[in-house]
Amino acid sequence: EAQVTQNPRYLITVTGKKLTVTCSQNMNHEYMSWYRQDPGLGLRQIYYSMNVEVTDKGDVPEGYKVSRKEKRNFPLILESPSPNQTSLYFCASSLYSWVPMNTEAFFGQGTRLTVV
Amino acid sequence: AQSVTQLDSHVSVSEGTPVLLRCNYSSSYSPSLFWYVQHPNKGLQLLLKYTSAATLVKGINGFEAEFKKSETSFHLTKPSAHMSDAAEYFCVVRRGGSQGNLIFGKGTKLSVKP
């Protein structure tokens, strides 16, 4: 089954304790990205990757890091989490970034992160 | 720059009545538009996408949307609401260029009353 898998689904952590949220897709997609969802703001892109070893900042990258060493995996790293990073996080993948423009994105189930 | 505006943050309908969720877009060129649905505690699922092949787009679960360039709108409709349609709906435009990310509206929460 084609899917995007995120882990963990729920995470409570303390300020400053490094954490990683994993994301894996089995569709051989080139393009992967991370979004955060906050009430009343919709989803906003954090980082994206157009292919292996190619990553770039999205609209809200501060406080996050990513890596893309393999095509299928795109982990999100919070080196020193802070309470303002409490949010619902989604990983997404699509075949291409922009060609064709109507390529749909497939989303993971989400990771609800609470930083206390 | 591309953007989308969902005109209602919350819509409430009775089961069996029509659904209308409104979305206006802003784009400097022919946009790629999508509607996604998010059920409680679930991920996002694609309902439908505008491909420029037809202005009336049919999606899953009986939903459809009409692209109106003159009104810069892409409203989502369904003739008869079902209880299972209760969810949050996002109108989305794809940003052009290499960033290629999806720009989400703020969402419309649909409630369906029995």
pLDDT digits (tens, 9 = 90+) for B85-108: 999 999 998 876 666 678 899 999
Interface subset of B 76-95, CB within 8 angstroms of A: 90, 94
What is the bridge-based pairing of β-strands A31-38 and A111-115?
Answer: unpaired
Closest by alpha carbon to A87, among A32, A33, A13?
A: A13
Closest to A41 (Cβ–Cβ): which among B45, B102, B106?
A: B106
- What pLDDT does B98 receive? 61
The span from the CA of A70 to the CA of A91, in Å, is: 15
Write the single-letter amino acid at A61. P
What is the bridge-based pairing of β-strands A87-94 and A31-38?
Answer: antiparallel
* Least confident span in A95-99, B28-32, B56-60, B79-83: A95-99
pLDDT at A53 over 80: yes
B101–A58 CB contact, under 8 Å: yes
Q: Which residues of B touch A97 (CB under 8 A)?
A: 98-100
* Least confident span in A5-19, A68-82, A99-113, B79-93: A99-113
Write the single-letter amino acid at B113. K
B107–A42 CB contact, under 8 Å: yes
Average pLDDT over residues A70-94: 96
- What pLDDT does B58 receive? 94
The span from the CA of A16 to the CA of A104, in Å, is: 35
Average pLDDT over residues A10-27: 97
The span from the CA of A4 to the CA of A6, in Å, is: 7
Residue of A nearest to B8 (CA): A40
